[in-house]
A and B are shown apart, each in its own frame.
Chain A
Amino acid sequence: CLTHVENNRLFYAKEFLNRFGYIKTNDSSLDISTSAVRAFQRFVGLNQTGIIDELTWQKMREPRCGNKDLRRIQRRKR
């Protein structure tokens, strides 16, 4: 079972990855794709473990700009 703290952390991390362009999802589960975490870790120069370890978590909590880091691939006009 996840503790309350872990739940909060996962919730925040998912919100963070969604807000800054690493995932695009509306589902309310706490599942986080490891490739999205890896993409964030790659962008900020951390080890690409795909796990929200302490360094990754700390990075997510740092003060930052509100613009997205990644723009998702846009659909091409037909």
Chain B
Amino acid sequence: YILQGSRWPSNEPLTFRIVKYPTTFPQQFVDAELTKALKLWSSASSLEFEHRKLKKQNEQKSNNLDHKTDIRISFEIGDHGDTEPFDGPGNVLGHAFFPQYGGDAHFDNDEYWTMKSTDGVNLFQVAAHEFGHSLGLEHSNKPDAIMAPFFKGYTPNFTLQEDDIRAIQALYGGKPSKSFSSPLSNSIEAYQAVSKQMAPSVKSSNKNSAICHDPQFDAIITIDDDTYIFKDKFVYRRSKLSMDNDYPKLIHDMFGRWEGGIWQTIPDQIDTAVTWPNQQIFFFKGKHYWKTNRFQLQAGYPRLISDGFRGLDEQHFFTGHLDAAFIYSGDNHTYFIKDAMVWRLNINIEFTNSIDIDYPQFVSSWLHIGEKITSALQWINGRTYFFSYKSYYRYDHINHQVDDSYPTYPRPISEWWLQCKHGASSSETAG
């Protein structure tokens, strides 16, 4: 998924209004289908919607309410004044504006709109897609996603896909549940709080205590919904709720492949790592990198970073030993940090990518964090976290600043991520 870069403030329900109905589709059905489409997005996020109905048809032009309406919906014909004329039946079905441009959604009145038919164009499906734009999502290249640009034909049980859910939750957070309605919902802090409530006796094993004595690490990644923390020659794992007692394990045992009867692995003491959405993981050390598909080391590695990620070597000051590699939640591009500088990959494709022309930039002016960044991660909640030795920052990618929640950031890694307490061994104090 791709976030456009703007979003609605989520403290109040968003209002929507159908300001121009289609000429060949009953109004009550339009109301129902569009409301259902918005409900898809509200059911997966903290968003709420409120329908501002027209009381009379003639309200259309003298509408004081319009100033208070967030998303205005209309069915238009041909050139309708926004420089993107519709083209009659077929081809373009609709378009919508991102939040920073008002969020309005326009549908081509010339389409043969339908509800439960393989003929024509399903209004609910197209509306669900256009409202994704109204909420801040760009087109996804996942073909199954609602935010993929092409109409798939009538699909019974049409619903949000994982890619769409991750996207909307990256912008607005998950749906607060009854038992779990913290404003930090879906954050590492919220999971930590739930973990304490649900399992007060959960303890990290003695094995985990090693990292509590020195709670800084080499790299941090996610695989599926689990977080893997690399330190020296060990890997620690935490689920959403707690550290896993079966860990740490040796990196050597977890990430490798048999080749010619020899077990090839990624090295110990890596510099950093990043997981791409296709489950490929890149591990960096010195001037080299290794690629795995989840835990399976791919053939042909290590390679030079400068071969796979062109542009990094063109900077005369780049000598390998990256500090951090991560996908930034603000634009889902891959970034690299080394000392005071940050680089951005143009596209997230190995070999054919290049470093964006505007980079490198200074980390301090890009992030507004003065401390040295030692690791970074886009976590499973779609938020980006920056680590600096024994502390970390949660980042607000909408306002492009450190999150201003309380307790303030930076916070100690040991307490919030590793479940150690007061710097002591977790085995002694957890719970």
Shortest A58–chain B CB gap in Å is: 11
A43-B141, A44-B143 known; A67 vs B133 contact (CB < 8 Å) = yes
**A55 vs B128: C-alpha distance when bound (angstroms):** 27
A44-B143, A73-B356 known; A65 vs B149 contact (CB < 8 Å) = yes
**A69 vs B130: C-alpha distance when bound (angstroms):** 13
**A64 vs B125: C-alpha distance when bound (angstroms):** 11
**Do the beta carbons of A59 and B150 come within 8 Å of each other?**
yes
**A67 vs B101: C-alpha distance when bound (angstroms):** 13
**Do the beta carbons of A65 and B358 come within 8 Å of each other?**
no
**Do the beta carbons of B130 and A65 come within 8 Å of each other?**
yes
A4 on interface, CB distance cutoff 8 Å? no
A73-B356, A76-B358 known; A65 vs B141 contact (CB < 8 Å) = no
Q: Give the dominant DSSP class at B's interface.
A: loop
**Do the beta carbons of B84 and A66 come within 8 Å of each other?**
yes
Per-residue B-contact encoding for A44-78, CB less than 8 Å = 1, 0 else: 11000000000000010111111111010100100
**Do the beta carbons of A63 and B149 come within 8 Å of each other?**
no
Q: Give the dominant DSSP class at A's interface.
A: loop
A-B contact count (CB 8 A): 59
Shortest B137–chain A CB gap in Å is: 10
Per-residue A-contact encoding for B62-103, CB less than 8 Å = 1, 0 else: 000000000000000000000010100011111110000000
**A64 vs B86: C-alpha distance when bound (angstroms):** 12
**Do the beta carbons of B358 and A63 come within 8 Å of each other?**
no
A44-B150, A45-B143, A71-B138 known; A65 vs B93 contact (CB < 8 Å) = yes
Chain A residues contacting B357 (CB-CB under 8 Å) are 73
Partner of A66, one of B93, B121, B141: B93
Chain B residues contacting A69 (CB-CB under 8 Å) are 139, 149
CB within 8 Å of A: which B131-185 residues: 133, 138-139, 141, 143, 149-151
B129 on interface, CB distance cutoff 8 Å? yes
The list of the 10 closest CB pairs from A to B, nearest first, reads A66-B95, A66-B92, A63-B151, A64-B150, A69-B139, A62-B150, A43-B141, A65-B149, A76-B358, A64-B149
19 A-B residue contacts at CB 8 Å?
A42-B349, A44-B141, A44-B150, A45-B141, A62-B150, A63-B90, A63-B91, A64-B92, A64-B149, A64-B151, A65-B92, A65-B139, A66-B86, A66-B93, A67-B96, A67-B139, A67-B149, A69-B149, A73-B346
**Residues of B that sit less than 8 Å from A by CB:** 84, 86, 90-96, 121, 126, 129-130, 133, 138-139, 141, 143, 149-151, 346, 349, 356-358
**Residues of A that sit less than 8 Å from B by CB:** 20, 42-45, 59, 61-69, 71, 73, 76
